[in-house]
Each structure stands twice: as C-alpha cells, then as structure tokens.
A and B are shown apart, each in its own frame.
Chain A
Amino acid sequence: MAEYFYISLFAVVALVVIGALLALSTLLGPRNATPQKLLPYECGIVPAEEAKGRYPVRFATIAMLFIIFDVEVVFMYPWAVALGELKLFGLIEMLIFIIILGIAYVYIWGRGGLEWD
C-alpha cells in the first residue's frame, strides 16, 4: 500500500506545481501583445499558411502500416523481459515471427507501399 501513497503524493505534487506555475505566469507576466508576439513560433520563420490544412491521403496508408508494425513491436517487449528464461527457444520463436513480418516488409517495399508516388 505504501507505494500507492507515494504515487498519489507524486500526482498531487505534480498537479500543484503545474497549477502554481500556470497561475503565477498569468498573474505576474506582463501582457503587451503585439501581432508579432501572437504568431506561433515567435522566434524563427513566419508561418506561410495555416497549419490546419488538408493532408494528402497517402499519410493514411503510412499510418496504417505504422500501426501494424507498432503492434508487432509490442510483442517484443514481453519477449525481451522473458528472454533470460526462454533461452534459445525464445530466440527461435522470435526469429520465425520476425521472418514472417520481414516478408511482409519485403512485400510492402517491393510493391511500393512506402513510396510517395
């Protein structure tokens, strides 16, 4: 139970600090807004257009492929933790898994799934 106490203590402290910082900066900070200061990225390049534009549909394909590979990576986490116990057997298992997904990767690459045509 003790660890729960520390976690909640941590949460409370985090909330208090964030709240305090935000409150202080609103209370004490000087406010003399100029058009320059209201720009996103005050320092650096002036934005050419609005960020909320329409994205090309190709992103969707890439995002989907990303998710699938992400799911694959998740399997490696418990595998890495348990590998000490699993020894060679675990290595072979993961090898088969990776080979199957490697074939998927070869396919996607060869088919031009990652190209931006």
Chain B
Amino acid sequence: MMLTFVLPIIFITLFAFIFGKMNNSEENHLMSLVHSVAGISVFMLLFSVAGIGGSLLDEKQEGILKKLLCSPMPPDYILFGKLVFAIIISIIQLSIMFTYAWLFFGLDIMHHLPSLILMIFAIAFACSGLGIVLASFAKTRQQVQGLSSIIVLVMSALGGSMIPLFVMPEIMQKIAVFTVNYWGIQGIYDIFWKLVPLRDSIFLSKVFVLFCIGIFFNFIALLMFRRNILKML
C-alpha cells in the first residue's frame, strides 16, 4: 500500500513542486508536471511489480506454491494469475497517479483520456512480467528486494525517470531506448506535452514497443518460472 500508492503520490508532489518552482513559463511548468508524473509513476510501478514477484517467493517458502501444484490447476496458471494481478495493480496505480495529478495539479487528462488509457494499459503490460523475471533469479524476498532496487534504480536513471533525457548526454539518450521507462515516459510526453493524437504513428509506435517489451518480459517470466521457480521446490 505504502509503496504502491502513498510513496508515488509523495514523490510526484515533491518533484512537481521543485520543478515547478524552477520553471516560470507555463509551457515549462506543464513539461515539469508531465515529467514528474510520468517519471515517478513508471519508476514506482517497477518497484510494485518487483514486490509481486517477491510474493511468489514468499509463497514458495511457505509451501503454498507446492500445495497449489498439487491441485488440478495447470502450473502455468499460477504464473498467469500473478501476471494478471500485476497488470491490475499497475493499472490502478497509474490511474491513481494521473487522477491525483489532475485533481491537485490540473493536468488535463480528460481531453486525452483514450490515449492515456491505452498508454496505461501498455505500460502496465510492459512491466507486469518484470517482477517474475527478477524473482526467478533469487531465492528469497530479501534477495528480490536487493536485486530489484539495483535494477529499477539503474533502469529509471537511464530511462529518464529521474532527470529528463533531453538534459542528458547523447550517449545516455541512446542507451535509454533499452529501458521500459523511456518508452512509457516518451508516450506520456506525446499525450500531454507534444499533444500527439491517438492515431498518430509516433504515439502508436511507442504503444507497440511497450507491448513488445511486455511480451518479451512475460515470455522470459514463463521460461524462468518453469525453469527456476518450479524446479527449486
């Protein structure tokens, strides 16, 4: 609850306040707000999905996973259940972040609702498998927490969650394309800052890449779940 909802709201408030004070023009103010909401939302979302991966290891340690495997339910359904849960939590988390930005900072989500809904789905799907992938490399929740802190912080720093990419060196901007944060943040820039229409290929290409990242992570999650997590029982 703390990690999923409270901390992101605190961070968005702080970032929006600090960046807002630094920029005087309205356009810069909007850009600061969009960056704060997009960057922090994706950043905190990655921590949330890592936590869901950790819960799978808790269940393994407590014998719940073993008991689930004794039931007539196909083993892959356990993983699908976790992925669906991760997607639902991600959608709720992102929705709350943007609603908060709308209510308290006046971010105009109502005029871009279809694009925003599509982008929220795309980001949620892209991140959903990451927790399971991280969990498959660890044996306990504590290990996942350590591993995910490093991975998420590095990915967020590189992907532009903390500092806008356009102030970074060119090489960093090229590396950023390998992170989920980059595509999520750029997609949200398209919606609220660059005002790219829903059907524009620039916007849809980002949605497409996010779905591809999601498919890739979920495929790896499935392989690692079968190979590592089930085998460790």
A, B from the same assembly: no
Interface residues of B (CB under 8 A from A): none
